Amino acid sequence: MKIGFIGLGIMGKPMSKNLVKAGYDLIVYDRNQAAAHEVAECGAQEAFSTAEVAAVSDVIITMVPNSPQVREVALSDDGIIAKAKEGTVLIDMSSIDPVESRKIGAALAEKGIDMLDAPVSGGEPKAIDGTLSVMVGGKEETFDKYKELLSHMAASVVYVGELGAGNVAKLANQIVVASNIAAVAEALTFSVKAGVDPERVYQAIRGGLAGSTVMDAKAPMMMDRNFKPGFRIELHIKDLNNALNAAHAVSAPVPITAQMMEILQAVKADGHEKEDHSGMLHYYEKNANVTVKR
């Protein structure tokens, strides 16, 4: 089985390397040729176009920024729809609008190409160590066939429902994560403003009901002033924009999501969009006129 992998950015590059380590026959492409060359040095075959990948692959994995890029890779004149053989499967692991996933999947189906949407959660560290969470939508029999493939990049691979359901789950995840990060930032800022050591507050509450994976991942980063991106603010803005669009399409009220978007936009306006989403802390610090640190 020949696996094509398109999109070798902060997530796609370590994910593709894990597939090579697992023994899969990979052909990879990214507009950044240095990234493709790096994966090729690990044992993959390097391609120089989407068309080249599509023409030889049985399964194509895409990990690109957003809906327009998935649409381009899948449906352009040099894309999967034009160059891939009937029976090829597209596994889109990008985080995009589920409405777009369904439209792209319907177009591919007319050419005999099946599609799964399989976005991930976990950020760069979990992409590197192969412990991502994957949420999958599409035909259940297709999911069953490729679950093992996905498991080499992830600790959790869960079938959610029909095509688009994977991205619905991912957007739900992003709503919860943004809200949790904001709550942690708000609580630590409040602690400092009240004259209490934020590290001691964190240690006091992390073992109770307030404790969470998000708190344990992001509170130390905030207090260490470490905003090196595991998942960039600008990408979380993209995800929440997709969440708002998808929610509005089905008339689901998402007022907390809207508030999180405004906080992220304010942080972006102050020039922090390339930082980790723990940088939501900057919004609270600016308004409270304090600095959170150990």
State the catalytic residues: 170
Biggest CA pair distance of the chain: 65
Q: Which residues contact 292 (CB under 8 A, 6 or more apart)?
A: 185, 188, 189, 191, 192, 198, 222, 223, 281, 285
Contact 122, 116 (CB under 8 A): no
Q: What is the full DSSP assignment across the chain?
A: -EEEEE--STTHHHHHHHHHHTT-EEEEE-SSHHHHHHHHHTTPEE-SSHHHHHHH-SEEEE--SSHHHHHHHHHSTTSHHHHSPTT-EEEE-S---HHHHHHHHHHHHTTT-EEEE--EESHHHHHHHT-EEEEEES-HHHHHHHHHHHHTSEEEEEEEESTTHHHHHHHHHHHHHHHHHHHHHHHHHHHHHTT--HHHHHHHHTTSTT--HHHHHHHHHHHTT----SSBHHHHHHHHHHHHHHHHHTT---HHHHHHHHHHHHHHHTT-TTSBGGGGHHHHHHHHT-----
The residues that bridge with 93 in the sheet, in sequence order, are: none
